[in-house]
Amino acid sequence: MPLLFIGIILFILGFNLGRNDVRLVKLAGLFKIIGIIVFVAGLLSSCVVQVDAGNVGVQKLFGEVRDEVLPSGLHFINPLLKVEHINVKTQNYTMSGIHDEGDNSGDDAIRVLSSDGLEVTLDLTVLYKVIASQAPNLVQSIGPDYANVIIRPISRTRIRDNAVYYTAVDLFGPKREEFQSRIFASIEKDFKQRGLLLEQLLVRNITLPESVKATIESKINAEQESQKMFFVLEKEKQEAERKRVEAQGIADYQRIINASLTEKQLQYELIKAQKEIATSPNSKVIIMGGKGDAPFIIGN
């Protein structure tokens, strides 16, 4: 568009130079030619617009937003149109209590009240994108700063509205997934009405009050001690069962031996043992004798 005005100015300037001074006729003709060239170049550049990948073009004519959306690529348009490029790729908006981690510097975490009246702090990341077909409506009704106008306030409000149905322990523990699903459904509905698509909602961190943390830690420690004692008792039971089985085995062995031994068998085993002692080079004295017999001594 600026080239168009420059070309017109050069053409008018060349036309006036020729009228005021005959000696400047050649220079005036040069100005006219340059003006026409610049005007044509400006006209062609104004008629051609390139929309980059991941963007769509929203057309405006004298402030009026047109419903037709320009997809990515090269387009020939009315040179009077103004095209605003809107990002339709996945974007994220983070609200965090850590300094400079979120979109806003400083502590931007979301503080909510649970059903038991405790204050819980949440860090949240919203993944979203602009619905391409709804881009003109988004530009007309909200403008380019939709992140601060829509994403931030709606997300914070819906989280506070839904947190009152859960206790602080529930938000931190077993019902965390249910809580995320619930706030996702409510935020998604509000986004769609305004031309935004909610892709994912990430509750990155939940900070509980110190009193609740201490209670949870005590409960976890008690559960761990209970499990430890259960394992100790199980081990003792297994050891007692092992000893009982071992004693039963010894008793059974002795019963079998006692039932199979006879008087003659015992006398034979005694003679074998005494014979081994007698042949040993270290033996000095051997006591021999059986049941009912007088023993006798064999020595050096």
Q: What is the pLDDT of residues 66-110, one digit of tens each?
A: 888 888 888 777 777 788 888 889 998 888 877 767 777 767 788
**How far apart are alpha carbons 226 and 170 in whole angstroms?**
23
pLDDT of residue 213: 64
Burial class (CB in 10 A: 0-12, 13-18, 19+), 166: buried
Q: Is the dihedral of CA 262, 263, 268, 270 positive or negative?
A: positive
Tokens coding 179: 């809580």
pTM score of the predicted model? 0.57
Distance CA 125, CA 152 (A): 10
CB 51 within 8 A of CB 72: yes
Looking at residue 127, what is its pLDDT?
93
- What are the helix (H) ranges across the chain? 2-20, 25-47, 135-141, 146, 152-163, 168-172, 176-192, 210-260, 263-279
- Give pLDDT, residue 26: 62
Tokens of 146: 């939709």
The pLDDT of residue 298: 53
Q: Which two tokens stand for residue 144?
A: 């380019």
What's the CATH code, domain 91-208? 3.30.479.30
Q: Which residues of the chain have pLDDT under 70?
A: 1-46, 100, 106, 209, 211-221, 223, 260-262, 265-266, 278, 280, 282-300
At residue 289, the pLDDT reads 56
